[in-house]
Amino acid sequence: MGRPKFSTIFSANNHHNLPYSNPISQSLVDKTNTQKDGFLYSIFRLLRRFMSANKIDGGSRTVEEEKMYSWLYALAQSEKDLVFEYVHSTERGLSFTEAERRLRENGPNVPSEYSSPRWWILLWNAFFHPFNIILIVLSALSFISMDILNGFIMLTLVSISVSLRFYQEYSSSKAALKLSEFLRCPVKVQRCAGRVVQTELIVQVDQRDVVPGDIVIMEPGDLFPGDVRLLSSKHLVVSQSSLTGESWTTEKTADIREAYNTPLLDLKNICYMGTDVVSGTGTGLVVSTGSSTYMSTMFSKIGKRRPPDDFENGLQHISYILIAVMLIVVTIIVITDYCTSHDLSESLLFGISVACALTPQMLPLIVNTSLAKGAIAMARERCIVKSLTAIRNMGSMDILCIDKTGTLTMNHAILVNHLDCWGIPKEKVLYFAFLNSYFKTEQKYPLDDAILAYVYANGFRFQPSKWRKIDEIPFDFIRRRVSVILETESNAEDRHFQFLSRFMITKGALEEVMRVCSFIEHVDGREVSIFSSDDYQRILNLGEELSNEGLRVLGVARKKLKKHTRQMSDGSMTNDENFETNMVFLGLITFFDPPKDSAKQALWRLAEKGVKAKVLTGDSLSLAIKVCKEVGIRTTHVITGPELELLNQDSFHETVKRATVLARLTPIQKLGVVQSLQTVGNHVVGFLGDGVNDSLALDAANVAISVDSGVSVAKDFADIILLEKDLNVLVAGVEQGRLTYGNTMKYIKMSVIANLGSVLSILIATLCLKYEPLTPRQLLTQNFLYSVGQIAIPWDKMEDDYIKIPQKWSERGLPMFILWNGPVCTVCDVATLVFIWLYYKATIVADTSFFHTAWFIEGLLVQTLIIHLIRTEKIPFVQEVAAWPVICSTVVISAIGIGIPFTPIGEVMGFFPLPLSYFGFLVVLFLGYFSIGQVVKRLYILVYKRWL
C-alpha cells in the first residue's frame, strides 16, 4: 500500500508554503523553542517524525497526532475573535482569489490521498519470495536438462502461489482507496468579493474545494467538510457516529471555551470532518482540511503494515536454510559424482535432481488446498472468507476484540420496568407510555415497539379505542421528547352535548421531561403536589442508578388541558393549547438491550479454546459492564477512553493487557488497543467490527472480521465476513483454523525432515559408493510419487488436544524439531545401505541396478510412511490412526513404488526385481524405524512440552 501524502499545513519548517500561518498558530501547534530552529534541529525533527509515523505502538502518538491534538485544543480554548488570527481569515470569510491560492498550495480537501501501488509492483512482491525463486531456478534447470514434466509441475505450483498472493494484495490496496471517496458533497461557504467595497456572498462549492479559513454554513443533513471551530450555533445537534460508532447525538455550541482535560470528541465548540448535522443550524470556521483533520489522522493509519506474520517469516527462513543446504550439499555431490564418472553433464543433472528432492515442491499446493478446504467448511457455517490466510491466523488467535451492540446483544430493546417517582412499579406509568407510543405516527423508534410488545405480551387491556388523537408534537433532538394530545369521553348530564377530556402525554429523555414538569403525582396516585427540588434530585438519582445498571431510562408525564373541546352535532371543533408546560410527572420506564442467548455459550466455548474476549465499545461503561456480566465476561478490570488518554506508555500497555472491558473508545484508541496487544503482548488479535469507526482496528488486526450488514468500508478491510452476527460461527472458524494450521505444519515438518534426511543419505551413499545411488530419472520419479502422496494431508484430522489451544509458529521450533527427528530417517537409509552392502555385496559389485531398485523402494517408503509418525504424538496405527484419505494415499503410493520394478516401466527406468528376503528386511527396518522414532518423539515432547 502506498503511504498517504500528508499536507504540510502544520509543518514547522514550511512557513513559506502557508500564507495564512503565523507565529501564534505555529507556537500553539509545535510548542517548540525558537532557539532550536536550526538546520540540525530540523533534521532531527524530520527523522523523529519519520520514525514516529512508522512506529507501531499502541501506547504512543505520532508527531502528526500530537500536532492535531494540540491545534484543536488550542482553538477550543480560545475566543472566537482570536481563532480568525490563527488561520488568517476574517469575519467576512476569504476572498475568491485567496481561497484559490490556498487550494493550489494545499491540494484537494480529501481525508487522505492514497497512491495505490501499481499492479506490477504488487505482482513483483508476490513473486519475489525465496521459495518461489528456488522452484523457478529448479524448473529452468529441469527444462535445460530436458526434464519437461518436472519443470512444468514446479512452474504450476509457483503460478498458484503468486496468483493467490497477488489477488489478496491487490484487493487490499483497492479497499483503502475507497476512503478518499468517503466525503463528496456540496458545501455552503461565505466568501467576500469586490475591490473597493467587499460584499459577503454565500456560494456553494464542492467539499474538495474547501480550504482552512473558509466560513461554512451548516444545516440539517450537511456533512462538515473539515475540522470546524463553531462561530455561532442555534440548537445544533451533531451525529458523530462515523467517528465513535454510536448512534447517540451530541449537542454543539459556539459560546463556550473548553478545558484541556475534556476528551477530544467531547469538545462542544469543535466539529469534525465526516460528522453530520442532525438538527439546528450553525456557522463555523474551517481550521483543518485534508490530511490535517482528525478523520484523516485516523485514516492515515490505514494501510500500515500489520505485525509480521510469523508463519510467513518462518517459511522464508526455511527457504533460506534450504538454499544454503542445497548449495553446499549439491556442490559436494556434483564434485564427488564427477570425480567418479568424469561426466560433467550427467553429474550436473544428478545435482539438479538432488536439489529438486531437497525442495518441498508441494508446499504452495498443500498450504492453499488446506486454506481453501477451510474456507469451504466455514462457508457452510454462513461465513465468507475473503483472505485465505485469515483461516490460519484464526488458529493462532488468542484474543478476540468485539463490540457490544449486535454482537453480544440482540440490538433491539425490551421494556424492563415501569416505575413511579419512588421507584415502585406502577401500571399507570405504563398505561400513559403505551398511549404515547400507540398514537404517535411520526418517527417511530424501537423503544415504541418495545413498549407495545411488552403491553401485548403481558395481557394488559388498555383499550386505546376509547381515545382519539388530536395532535402530535414530534420528537426532535433539541427537546428530546415527543408529545401527543388525546381525547377521551367524560361523563355528562346533558345528553345533547358530549364533553371530552383532553390530555397531553409526553415521553422522552428523563431530564427533558422533568424540565417541563411543575407537579408530581403522589405514591397513591390520587393527589398531585408541587415538583420540589428534593423530588427533582431524588428522581435524578434514581435515573442515574438505573443507568449505572445498564438500563436506558425515559420519563413519562401528562397534563390535563385546561380547555375542553365541545363537539357539536355538526362536528365542529375548537383548538386547545398544546404547550409542553406545567405537566405532572408520572414516572420512569426502563429498557435493556438483552444479550443474545448464544453469546454466553459462544464466549465460553472460545475461552475453552484459549481465546480471551475483550469488549471494545464506544458506548457507556455502565451499559457495557451490565451486558458483559450477563454473558459471563469478567468486569474486574475496566476503563474508558478518556482515562486511557491520561496514561503514560507503560501504564497504557499494562492497563490494556489487564482490562476486559474498554468503553467510550475513539477509533484511534481502538487501533491503539489492538496494536498494544500485538506488539507488547505478543498476541494474535482478531477484531469484529462493522462501522467506519472500526476500519482502523480492522486494518491492523491479524484477523479482521465484519458482518454482511456492516458498512462497505468495514467489509472491504475485513478478511472474514459473517452472514449473521453469531459468535458460534467464530468458534467453528477457530477450530477450522487450527485444523488447517496443524495439517500445514505436518507437511512442513514432515517434508523438510524427509527431504533433508534423504539428501543427506544420498550424500553419504555418493561418498561411499563409486556411482550414483539413484539415477536422475529414478530420483525425480521417487520425489514425484512422494509429493503426489502428500496431497491428501489437508483432509487429515487433528487430535482434540491440539484444537483446544492456540497454535503459533515458533522460531526455534522447526530447527530443533529437525535436529531431533531428522537423523532418524538418515539412520534408516544408512542401515539399508549397510545391509545391501553386506548381505548382497556380490550383487552390488556386479550390477548397480539392484542397489538402485532397493534404495528407490526403501527411500520412497520412508518418505511416505513418515507422515504417520509425524502427524500424531501418539503411537501411530495403535493409539491414533490417520483419516482414510491419508491411509488410502499411503497404500496406493507404496503399492506403486513396490510394483514399478516388476513392470515394463521399471525395466525402462533400469530397475531390477527384488527377492523376497529384501522385503522381509524392510518389515524389520520399519518396525525399528517407528520404534526409534517414537522414543525420540517422547523425549522431544518431554523437553519441549509439545509436538507439532
Residues known to be catalytic: 403
Whether the CB-CB separation of 407 and 438 falls below 8 Å is answered with no
Phi, psi of 415 (to 5 degrees): -75, 130
In order of 87, 247, 642, the CA distances from 270 in angstroms are 15, 19, 17
Q: Which long-range contacts (CB under 8 A, 24 or more apart) does 19-27 make?
A: 19/88, 19/98, 19/101, 19/102, 19/105, 20/87, 20/88, 20/89, 20/102, 20/212, 20/213, 21/88, 22/85, 22/86, 22/88, 24/85, 24/86, 25/71, 25/85, 25/86, 25/87
Beta strands in 532-575 (DSSP E): 552-560, 566-567
C-alpha of 670 from chain center: 10
Closest CA to 460 of 494, 427, 482: 427
In order of 138, 417, 498, 567, the CA distances from 489 in angstroms are 96, 29, 7, 11
Question: Which three three-digit cell numbers place residue 747?
Answer: 507437511
Beta strands in 490-618 (DSSP E): 498-509, 517-521, 528-530, 552-560, 566-567, 583-592, 612-616
Whether the CB-CB separation of 83 and 285 falls below 8 Å is answered with yes
Whether the CB-CB separation of 752 and 360 falls below 8 Å is answered with yes
Phi, psi of 261 (to 5 degrees): -85, 0
Q: Helix 649-658 to helix 667-679 angle, to the nearest 10 degrees?
A: 80
In order of 138, 483, 807, 897, the CA distances from 362 in angstroms are 14, 71, 22, 19
d(CA 114, CA 773): 58
Whether the CB-CB separation of 360 and 747 falls below 8 Å is answered with yes
Sign of CA dihedral 766, 768, 770, 771: negative
Q: Using CB atoms within 10 A of its CB, is residue 30 exposed (0-12), middle (13-18) or buried (19+)?
A: buried
Whether the CB-CB separation of 508 and 572 falls below 8 Å is answered with no
Closest CA to 440 of 458, 464, 413: 464
Q: Which residues pair with 425 in a beta bridge?
A: 419
Whether the CB-CB separation of 393 and 703 falls below 8 Å is answered with yes
Question: Which three three-digit cell numbers place residue 484?
Answer: 401527543
- DSSP-derived 3-state class of residue 422: coil
